[in-house]
Structure 1
Amino acid sequence: MMNKIIRIGTRDSELALWQAHTVEKKLNDLGYKTEILAVKSQGDIILDKPLYELGITGIFTKTLDIAMINGDVDIAVHSMKDVPTALPIGIVQAAVLERANTLDILVHKGNLDFLNGDGTIATGSLRRQAQWLNKYPNHKVVDLRGNVNTRMQKLQDSDWNGAVFAAAGLERINLKPSNYIDLDWMIPAPAQGAMVVVAMAKDEFCRQALNELNDIDTEVCTHIERQFLKTLEGGCTAPIGALAVFVEDDILFKGVLFSIDGKQKIEIEKTVPMQEWKKLGFYCAKEILENGGAELMTEIKINFKK
């Protein structure tokens, strides 16, 4: 059976291909044969609209989901933070790889004076926008779309003061410049810095192969963060950050929900014994909803309908 070739589906951006090749190498090292098939996703094609306006979660994963369901590819590799919390019927999470850097970073033009005055920052993420405006209410945030290479280029060609990126993405393809600062006050996207591989539920061969790549600590932490997201969102995009980390035998969780303008912020921080991980994200989200989060989510949903 080892002579079956596992067809790995991926987007065709440099970062997506890096991720696919990383999974390919790990599978090859275990003796599996593989090939990589790259496809363009709608998220890569439609660059003139902010992501949340396109109105579908999973804009980057949809094309690959269809390719898997059609049997054109066997498995797909994603940045886990791009994957909707509910996978399509018949598709399952088969492996979460060991997590990289979870931080967001600000790539700037070498002069940070604007942090004390007026500035313009670029990001396509509602979460980053809300957190930035919460800390720097007099700044302007502009939309920035495209893969990391495109975004870096747009920053270069612009008069913006800086743009926010996930550190992991830039580190993976050696694009992280020297002129950046770690935004350690910004709560990352749920599952930021983690890669996930999905397979068809009925595909025993691929699921077994991928099981050998799974990192249990990362799987647990990202499960908590995505459960928090799923409980809060209910299918709507909102500025939500979440991070779970192991601290010896405990898990430290930080979660946050913002209004889109960043003015309202509801946060939670909890440390629980490791064995209580299964419902941690759910309970923390419930606490946020009871603490004003339900009203805030309603407001956010109304904003999107406008």
Structure 2
Amino acid sequence: MSRFKIRIGTRKSKLALWQAKTVANKLKEIGYESSIITLKSDGDINLTQPLYSFGIQGVFTKTLDSALLEKKIDIAVHSLKDVPTSLPSEIVLGAVLKRGNPFDIIIYNKKEGFQKNGFIGTGSLRRKAQWLSKYPADKIQPIRGNIQSRIKKLNTKKLNGIIISNAAIERLSIKNIEFEKLDWMIPAPSQGTIGIACLNNNQLIKENLSKINCEETSYCIKLEREFLKILEGGCSAPIGGIARIKDKNVHFNGGIFSLDGKNSKLCSHKFLINQDPISMGQMIANKLLEKGGDKIISTIKNKM
């Protein structure tokens, strides 16, 4: 066992700590002890303001970025979908762990029941847009907070359901809930993936992170994040994208949606895994823009 102890930076929620402990166990497997240092992000402190209204990207990651740059931690563990597609020049994504379930679920309120013209809780523009595209008569109630607090809001806010990630429920082993898998809803790029960031000039950390990196997940999230990077153009648009590998083929489904869910542009691609993921992400995104996605993004920018 190495004498060098790796300092792991993370947010304080139960899910974030689960992710950090999972990384700690992976590091232990390759001979490294670690300590976990918890920090609060802007997104954790302000739980009433919708994320898109912050006007900046990385509301959950900037605090950990600063800790890395100030060398208070050696690595930062993230839910990768929260990490901006453009990182500070001194920071790199050193590894990703094998992806969990990437899809969303809806948890029903047992007391209120599920009904037409219901009230659905979510703080995600992507989930809101896709839900309204299928159930336009429903009303969306913005909710924020950790998984447990969002589940409590089912009753306190008299919601018929809340939409959250399947991976969060599985990782926290949350029981006694009624839910339905939303396999039709396109996930956020990188959803279900634990990402580990480090300083670009820390060669020892980078070398060891490469030992716990999942190559298949890495390929998929590179494609998805590049797809998102090309499309987002600095705005918090409702964008979904998921890449999966089967029999040496990459299957990608993506889409961009208007804020009210009434308009969307979707895409589906299949290609051999020997293609460069970043180039493919760029190509797919540009095709979607040419297909009319650019008009949806332009409208969203004007409204926000």
TM tier relative to shorter chain = over 0.9
1:203 aligns with: 202
Alpha-carbon distance in 1 for matches of 2:50, 2:140:
13
- Aligned: 1:124 with 2:123: yes
2:220 aligns with: 221
Contact 1:81/1:192, CA 8 A, preserved across alignment = yes
- Superposition pairs for residues 257-296 of structure 1, below 5 Å? 257-278=256-277, 279-296=279-296
Cα 1:248–1:112 change in 2 (3 A) is: farther
What amino acid is aligned across from residue 202 of structure 1 in structure 2?
A: N
Contact 2:250/2:273, CA 8 A, preserved across alignment = yes
2:73 aligns with: 73
Alpha-carbon distance in 2 for matches of 1:236, 1:113:
33
What amino acid is aligned across from residue 101 of structure 2 in structure 1?
A: N
Query: Post-superposition shift, 1:33?
Result: 2.0
Alpha-carbon distance in 2 for matches of 1:226, 1:154:
31
Contact 2:108/2:177, CA 8 A, preserved across alignment = no
- Superposition pairs for residues 84-163 of structure 1, below 5 Å? 84-110=84-110, 113-114=114-115, 117-163=116-162
1:212-271 CA distance string (max 9 Å, x none) = 110000000111111110010122110000000012111010010000000001000011
Contact 1:68/1:200, CA 8 A, preserved across alignment = yes
Say how many residue pairs are matched.
Answer: 302
2:83 aligns with: 83
1:134-187 CA distance string (max 9 Å, x none) = 000111011010111211112232211000000001211112544000001100
Runs of 4 or more, structure 1, over 6 Å off, are none
- Superposition pairs for residues 224-235 of structure 1, below 5 Å? 224-235=223-234
What amino acid is aligned across from residue 69 of structure 1 in structure 2?
A: L
1:280 aligns to what SS in structure 2? helix
Contact 2:153/2:159, CA 8 A, preserved across alignment = no
1:248 aligns with: 247
Alpha-carbon distance in 2 for matches of 1:143, 1:191:
22
Cα 1:113–1:51 change in 2 (3 A) is: closer
Identity %: 44
1:44 aligns with: 44
Query: Post-superposition shift, 1:112?
Result: 5.7
1:180 aligns with: 179
TM-score (normalizing by structure 1)? 0.96
Cα 1:51–1:176 change in 2 (3 A) is: farther
Name the Cα RMSD after superposition.
1.3
Alpha-carbon distance in 2 for matches of 1:152, 1:62:
27
Query: Post-superposition shift, 1:208?
Result: 1.1
2:166 aligns with: 167
Alpha-carbon distance in 2 for matches of 1:34, 1:73:
11
Structure 2: tracts of 5 or more residues without a match: none
